[in-house]
Amino acid sequence: MVGDHRRRRHIGTMSRPTRRYHAEKAVAALLLLAGTIFSFGGYRYGLGSMRHWGAGAFPFVCGLALIVLSVVCLCSAAKGREAGTGSVWRGMGAIAAGMAGFAAIIGSWGLLPATFLLASLSGIGTGKLKVRHILALAASLCLLMYLLFVILLRLPLPIFRGTYG
């Protein structure tokens, strides 16, 4: 038959997408384990309070975030779907540029402009959002950050250069 040679060649072997999803499951499981280890380790150091974080609070929170993200990746790989589409490098480059811009201007301009730049440059990485949506997202993130950290938690943060909240 015409198609027999193609069918016989793949008997007993996994196709590339199947291998990729198995690899994604394995990596997500390892990240889940790492997040669990970080969370338990951070908890052992002590979490402190909301105002005065202890030595283990940051590793604990990062571990929890890693657990949540790895569960999402694990579920996505189990369903056999890709987590996202498009160029991964574009997104990573935009986020790296946003972080570099944040680090470059936070000392001279303040927290709100640096956060606005971070969100704006990172939003470009999706390639799906319009400029006005990116700017609205960045502005709402700055507002949320101001309300949460300065108004609600009353942290003395340098909002603009020389101005503390």
At residue 139, the pLDDT reads: 94
CA distance 62 to 39: 7
- Predicted TM-score (pTM) of the model is 0.52
Residue 9 has pLDDT above 80, yes or no: no
Residue 137: inside a domain: yes
123 shares a domain with 72: no
The residue from 57, 79, 101 where one domain ends is 79
62 shares a domain with 26: yes
97 shares a domain with 54: no
The closest of 76, 75, 48 to 61, measured between CA atoms, is: 48
Residue 116 has pLDDT above 90, yes or no: yes
Residue 5: inside a domain: no
105 shares a domain with 134: yes
Each residue of 58-109: pLDDT tens digit? 888 888 988 988 888 888 777 765 555 556 678 788 888 988 988 899 888 8
- Cβ 147 vs Cβ 112: under 8 Å: no
Residue 11: inside a domain: no
At residue 113, the pLDDT reads: 92
Give the count of beta carbons closer than 10 Å to the beta carbon of residue 73. Answer: 18
Domain count, the chain: 2
Residue 49 has pLDDT above 90, yes or no: no
pLDDT band at 159 (very low <50, low <70, confident <90, very high): confident
pLDDT band at 5 (very low <50, low <70, confident <90, very high): low
Q: Is 58 exposed, middle or buried (0-12, 13-18, 19+ CB in 10 A)?
A: middle
Each residue of 18-41: pLDDT tens digit? 666 777 888 888 888 988 998 998
At residue 80, the pLDDT reads: 67
Residue 11 has pLDDT above 70, yes or no: no
159 shares a domain with 128: yes
Structural domain range at position 159: 88-164
110 shares a domain with 66: no
94 shares a domain with 69: no
69 shares a domain with 97: no
Average pLDDT, the chain: 80
The closest of 85, 81, 78, 149 to 111, measured between CA atoms, is: 149
What is the average pLDDT across 1-11? 52
